[in-house]
Chain A
Amino acid sequence: MKEFRTFHLMTTKKYKTKMLNLNKKTAFVFFALLTPVTVWAQSTAAPAPAAAPGLSIDINSVLLFFAVLMLLPVYYTGKTFLFSAKYFINKKKNDTTSNGKIISSIVIMLCFSQLVFSQATITPTAPAFVEPVSLLKNWVTVVLVIIIVLEFTFIIYFARQTGGFLFPKVKKVASTRHDVETNWFKTFWEKINNFKPVGEEDTLDTGHNYDGIRELDNITPPWFVAGFVLSILFAISYLYIYHVAKSAPLPKEEYAIEMAKADAEKAKQLALQGSTVDENTVVMLGASDIANGKAIFTEKCVACHGPSGGSMPGGVGPNLTDDHWIHGGSIASIFKTIKYGWPEKGMISWKDQLTPNQIAQLSSFIRSIAGSNPPGAKEPQGDIWVEGLAPSDSSKDSSTKSISKDSVKVIK
């Protein structure tokens, strides 16, 4: 018995070190394979804004790269697995004590692994649809992530099974009912928590007994203590960075940075598109733009101004289809009303929701339905506005007046 125990210890120890080596090797190869990717990903991530147009690195391309790269370890671990499984079967065949169950289960596993390989070869075709659209809305991203997770699972599965075939477990004499099988995770788990074997727990008993509940005096897991210390250090540095060194932006400073960046981008975009029309330069646009304006109107304006633009008796917004205008009926006045709104009268500002071009299209559409007088419209409000005749704005606003005069010229 004693001899057996020592032998058992030796074999498990040998097995452990071997397994560890195997794991180390796989891990090393795996991470060695990954290093260029991470380096590459980092190097591309940093200068991304400066990257030449046309070469956009999005999350999907990175994921695709990973997925393809991981085929290599999947392939090799799979091969090793197949090889070791065959070896195991041959050995078992010669072994008289073998039972059919194990072999049949291995055969099933083999078939399964073949299936995996056939699937794995298909995977690279999927990412052909990659488009740089936003995360999570993109099913391709989801598919790629699932593929990578599957690949990971297979690598771990193959590696574990191979280990099992090459170094079959020595059947232990059933010592306790807590007889647990050993694997690399268990070993790692026992180590990281500094577990004492369950059989030795009597030495840890505190002697407490509360209604039959005993308490052991196991040490707190080492990683727990380390983690706690680290989190305290994190907390101290967090407060230091924000409130002593002041080296990271607080919410309102973040906001200032964000806005400055947004303004710069906006200006650049607008310059690029030439979309710089404002109330001073707006002109009546053509039929296709008016159609776009109509679409915007249907989406945003009908709640208050009615589907026809004529509002309704008791409606929130004024009738836009008659000759009466509260804030002027010229294209420029309409543009200005939409852009800045008349908040005290309930007209909201749309400049953060519509582009200048869109406002111009919308203004043109509204100008185009003036005088259409649909049935069931709201009663007139404001003064009669006639094209070319100043003063136009009944809201006693000098700047608007001057603009509408200008715009009249433009229309002519």
Chain B
Amino acid sequence: MNQQTFHYDNKLPKYFAIACIFWGTVGMLLGVIAAFQLAFPVLNFSEFMPYLTFGRLRPVHTNAVIFAFVGNGIFTGVYYAIPRLLKTPMWNKTLGNIHFWGWQFIIVCAAVSLLMGFTTGKEYAELEWPIDILITLIWVVFGLNMFGTILTRRERHLYVAIWFFIASWVTVAMLHIVNSMEFPVSFMKSYSWYAGVQDALVQWWYGHNAVAFFLTTPYLGLMYYFLPKAADRPVYSYRLSIVHFWSLIFLYIWAGPHHLLYTALPDWAQSVGTAFSIMLILPSWGGMLNGLFTLRGAWDKVREDPVLKFFVVAVTCYGMATFEGPMLSLKNVNAISHYSDWTIAHVHIGALGWNGFLTFGMMYWLIPKLFNTKLYSRKLASTHFWIGTLGILLYAIPMYWSAFRSYFMMSAFTPEGQLQYEFIDVVQTVIPFYIMRAIGGTIYLTGVLLMCYNLIKTAKTGEFVATEEATAPALAKDYKAPANSIWHSLIERKPIMLLILSLVVVGIGGLVEMIPTFLVKENIPSIASVKPYTPLELQGRDLYIKEGCYNCHSQMIRPFRYEVARYGEYSKAGEFVYDHPFQWGSKRTGPDLARIGGKYGDSWHFNHMLDPTSMSPGSIMPSYPAMYEDVIDKASTNSKIHAMRQMGVPYPANYEAIANQDLEKQANGIASKLLIENKIKISSDKEIIALIAYLQRIGTDIKLQPNPSK
């Protein structure tokens, strides 16, 4: 055997680690600000500028934490672990550098564009089309570099961590490309290719599996490397790895529709979502068990080593979140949890506990290694551990409590059959919980700052090891598997086969759910009275999307007595056929708006958007004064109408030419009505006019008129 000598590069893992911690701190800080905004609306600073309202800030928070913090965390681990697991340096340094700088550039573009109001309006996929393309390119660069490394390896079989990296890479590519299919209207503005129910299905197929294949499977890969390394224990069960890897990636992809229970999504798709979510419990737990059981015989170490402490809580939180998730997908539980703070609590158990703590554990282990030294202070790391745990508890408990309180209040009827509470009563009740939650988040962030200090000090005491030398023989060409090797070892030495098999396995679920929803007409019964939006309403709708109203308002009334009594007739699938993108939302911090059209007068909306508390005392909604000064972008009407028609919205032929005339006519109507009836002077070209037009349109196509005298 001729030994070959090569060098592992530590520079990129270090860069990614710094980026991970930096963006993590920023992302969490934004989360804390957003949390305080809900309790103290003045923090939206909307009187001074439109950039920091909750509707714009929250997407920056979610995107930063998912793609910047966890994303860079994944790359840190991948760039450190893959070369060592395969006994070869990363394939191409240039690709690695492009990957690193490209990804950071995307993050900056994302933050700036989201705060400026460029958004597609689809959760966790808010970035506009040029950035989407950039993400695709950088993702391909990452994939090339990873597969180049795998194909030039000196280790014949792929370790379980790498199976997870491969499956994650191919699935995220698939999800991103399918969900980001959009029709560009202009630079930084596009419409989702899908509409209404179909858009919702694709979006939550994406949304759910972004959690699965960005926040879960790559992190399982990290766990499979760093946990046995830190504990110095063998992985508990190779068999369990095989079983839970394949079952997890196959079953996960089906579960998306559980985000749409009781909505206008066809019943069969909802039931499939529930059924597959329940089957997911044990495959998910496979990862937790393999992690915890690997620590058998090392629990005495866990008591002392902060790294292992973080890992234990991370894996436990993973287990809790993946048990809670399937429970939330049961219809009767989902009826309570959906649109409520329960969902927020659930995702933060996952994000703060699983992703956060695993990242922290990894950093406390990795940074001393990279700088060839010991951790500056184990005591400080332990303090971070306890502060972080306390932060998670203080975050989650108020949210669970608030969810139940709101549910009981929302669904309460007087014996005479009247709703007992108004929406604003519920808002007022949960504000103290929002404050507690924000404090919990602040405590968690404090822990992160301690970590930053500790790691910087660590780096300073040591000296950076830029490369590490290693030796291994090259792979023999004429390999014959031993007769007693198990079937799976074949897949482990054929990475392309593993890639293709993963793609097939994750592809099935999506295809089975999407094809019938797109092709079978009965799934979305059409309603004759549903008409395309007028040009003014379309402009208004784009403002609604721009301001991120969907972050707090749903447009989907579920068939429950208390929702129908509060918001109006429950939503039908056929009502959304021209909604590119859909705006059903996922959280009701404010009331549902699916039937807001015609509920109040134009002047109510006019006053409300300028100062929400004037019309709705106690409201925590930010004000939108900029809309009273900015003018409607009429130049875009033409291309917007054109894009919509290209996607099948039946505007008359050549309507683009006269669309702006219709727009002005409708706008003048609204402005003059405001003037005559309410003595409100507003120029008809202001954005607020378009927004009022849109709000007054929502849900009116089939609105049942309650007045019997009609």
Contacts and interface: CB of A to CB of B under 8 A. Distances in A.
Interface string A188-220: 000001010010010001101011111111111
B3 interface: no
Contact of B271 (A243, A252, A262): A243
Contacts of B285: 224
Interface string B409-423: 000111111110010
A346 B705 contact: no
Interface residues of B, number: 86
Interface stretch (B292-300, B443-451, B532-540): B292-300
Contacts of B241: 215
A68 B408 CA distance: 29
A231 B281 contact: yes
Nearest to B603: A316
B270 A217 contact: no
A211 B158 CA distance: 12
B235 A314 contact: no
A381 B601 CA distance: 15
A377 B677 CA distance: 14
A262 B559 contact: no
Given A137-B408, A303-B614, A353-B422, A252 B559 contact: yes
Contact of B418 (A178, A195, A355, A397): A355
A251 B293 contact: no
A251 B559 contact: yes
Nearest to B275: A235
Interface stretch (B207-215, B388-396, B560-568): B560-568
A381 B603 CA distance: 15
A275 interface: yes
B297 A198 contact: yes
Contacts of A134: 408, 412
A238 B271 contact: yes
Most chain A beta-carbon neighbours within 10 Å: one of B155, B261, B268, B415: B415
B229 interface: yes
Interface stretch (A14-22, A71-79, A97-105, A335-343): A335-343
A316 B604 CA distance: 6
B155 A210 contact: yes
Interface residues of A, number: 81
B239 interface: yes
Nearest to A270: B416
Contacts of A28: none
Nearest to B238: A215
Interface in B562-603: 564-566, 570, 598-603
A348 B600 contact: yes
Contacts of B412: 134
Contact of A214 (B234, B271, B281, B564): B234
B275 A239 contact: yes
B82 to A, nearest CB: 10
A308 interface: no
Given A213-B234, A216-B235, A254-B559, A343 B705 contact: yes
Interface string B205-228: 000000000000000000001001
A336 to B, nearest CB: 8
A213 B411 CA distance: 54
Given A195-B296, A346-B604, A355-B418, A217 B560 contact: no
Contacts of B636: none
B234 A340 contact: no
Interface in A290-311: 300, 303-304
B238 A242 contact: no
B256 to A, nearest CB: 15
Interface in B689-709: 705-709
6 residue pairs, one from A and one from B, having the closest CB atoms: A346-B601, A266-B417, A255-B559, A235-B275, A214-B234, A210-B159
15 contacts: A198-B296, A220-B286, A242-B267, A243-B267, A266-B416, A303-B617, A314-B679, A340-B709, A346-B604, A349-B707, A351-B706, A352-B566, A353-B422, A381-B677, A399-B708
Given A213-B225, A357-B416, 6 more contacts: A213-B234, A215-B234, A263-B417, A314-B679, A348-B600, A397-B709
